[in-house]
Amino acid sequence: MRAEDIAEAIRLMETDLPPDVEAALARCRDEEEGISREVLGAMLENVRIAREGGVPICQDTGSLVFFVSAKGCCSEICRIIMEGVAMATEAVPLRANIVDPFSRKNTGNNLGRGNPIIHIDPRPEGGLRIGILAKGAGSENVSAATMLDPDQSVGGIKEFVLQTVRKAGAKPCPPIIVGVGVGGSLDAAALLSKRALMRRLDEPTEDALSSHLEGDLLREINSLRIGPMGFGGKNTALAVRLEAADCHTASLPVAVSIQCWALRRVFLEAEGDRVLIRR
């Protein structure tokens, strides 16, 4: 895999919404009335213009999060990713979003201390797969994590998710996609909530309890009637996606990663000498 492959995947991700997300927006548009329907229509028109013009869907091209599954040492893969990000920043172009947290000095190329964010999973069977997520600040700023008491159980999880969405209101540009991470540790739950956003919206989880909870949360979030861009309506969220891990007997970590309507994600897979880009 080359830096050029990473840059091309980023270009596609930033300029063309995944088909499952676009289909969900179209379905919501058909369910709405009045200004909420018009807002969703404008979003879909925005998607069309970005695709046909080869320009970013949103002016906030986000911070880039990479999920790497590979066998063996990944230092070379990380180097290729960094080179690809710098290349895409200039070519797409991407907005230079990465700054020092204290001085706020901008690096100018979306690279910097700890950036891009790269998560690595061992893949014993070999092969290389890279998922990329563009995470805008408007939705990231209203995401949240907490440590619940274990006896709060599913009810506490649901209440925290709803509280987070209610507090966010229109800030994350709804209809949103809600990634929920449960279990592990505080940091692991946050990572799970990000991984949840990488799942297709038309492919529910195979875990029965998680699937049931996703459905319940989606219904309750939409009952808040925040609606598209906060104008009210039936669709505050397009989907809820939940990932879970076992945790310490005395804790119940929960994290919520809220994503705006423009869920930009892409996958690369290396097959021999070929690199495939999948949506």
The per-residue pLDDT of the chain, averaged, comes to: 95
pLDDT for residue 154 is more than 80:
yes
- 14 pLDDT band (50/70/90 cuts)? very high
> Closest Cα to residue 31, out of 234, 220, 239, 236?
234
Predicted local confidence at residue 272, as pLDDT: 82
Token pair 């808040």 is found at 224
Predicted local confidence at residue 71, as pLDDT: 79
pLDDT for residue 124 is more than 80:
no
> Closest Cα to residue 7, out of 268, 198, 181, 233?
268
Q: Give phi and psi for 7, each to the nearest 5.
A: -60, -40
- Residue 198 · residue 131 · CB < 8 Å: yes
- Residue 117 · residue 66 · CB < 8 Å: yes
pLDDT for residue 72 is more than 90:
no
How confident is the model over 76-97, as a mean pLDDT?
94
CA distance 205 to 189: 17
Cβ partners under 8 Å of residue 32, min gap 6 = 40, 227, 228, 233, 234, 235
Predicted local confidence at residue 6, as pLDDT: 96
CA distance 53 to 266: 19
Total Cβ atoms within 10 A of residue 196: 27
Predicted local confidence at residue 70, as pLDDT: 87
